Copies of this chain bind each other. A is one copy, B any other.
Amino acid sequence: MTETTTRDRPLRADAERTVRTILEVAERVLGEDPTASLAQIAAAAGVARTTLHRRFASREALIDAMAVHAFRQVEEAIDVGRPETAPPLVALHQITANVIQVKSGWRYTVGQPQLRDPEAVAAHERIFTKGHLLLDRAQQAGLLRPDADLEWARRVYHALIEQAIQVQAETATDPDTLAAAVVDTLLNGLGPERS
């Protein structure tokens, strides 16, 4: 019985939990060893291997589902920071902290190079756009140089967040502290105060 992503009927409550558990455990296991087998993942999740196959037709399907799940959470993390309405500096800080928080829990998935699932791709694009928009507002508010390349800015911002996530993984630092460091570095760099 080949199971596809779309279902005629909604999952039962316990099955829903099983799915979520598998997704979260898979993230952890694959984060430790990207070549881990589905059997290992199933065992770590405390379910039979057949159950995993029942929910996810193949390894690819599982990873795709993880991507959708993760990117939805990231998008949510951005949205609650009101990127369009909150004062740019506030939104910048808040969103940075939120994203660091969420992405820390989905390092493997988010780090995957290629997105196969169209829904994941769509979510990723929305996230991309929202980040761009946020930086655009920051620029218009004078937080970024008027002549700054927004594409480069977005990349730098992204890279700084990645670093913050690594720091968090190693030292369990408060997300707000990290967000402050990210924003400060993004805007001011590490050079001396200029007169």
Contact surface of A with B, Cβ cutoff 8 Å:
34, 113, 142-146, 148, 152-153, 155-156, 158-160, 162-163, 166-167, 181, 185-195
Asked if residues A192 and B156 are in contact (CB atoms below 8 Å), the reply is no
Q: A159-B163, A163-B155 are in contact. Are A145 and B185 (CB under 8 A)?
A: no
Residues of B within 8 A of A143 (CB): 191-192
Can you give 14 contacting A-B residue pairs, CB < 8 Å? A143-B191, A144-B190, A144-B191, A144-B192, A152-B167, A152-B190, A156-B160, A158-B163, A187-B189, A187-B191, A188-B188, A188-B194, A189-B189, A189-B191
Q: A162-B159, A167-B155, A181-B152 are in contact. Are A189 and B186 (CB under 8 A)?
A: yes
Residues of B within 8 A of A194 (CB): 188, 193-194
Q: Tell me the nearest residue of chain B to A139, going by C-beta.
A: B190
Asked if residues A186 and B193 are in contact (CB atoms below 8 Å), the reply is no
Q: Tell me the nearest residue of chain B to A167, going by C-beta.
A: B155
Asked if residues B193 and A156 are in contact (CB atoms below 8 Å), the reply is no
Residues of B within 8 A of A193 (CB): 145, 194
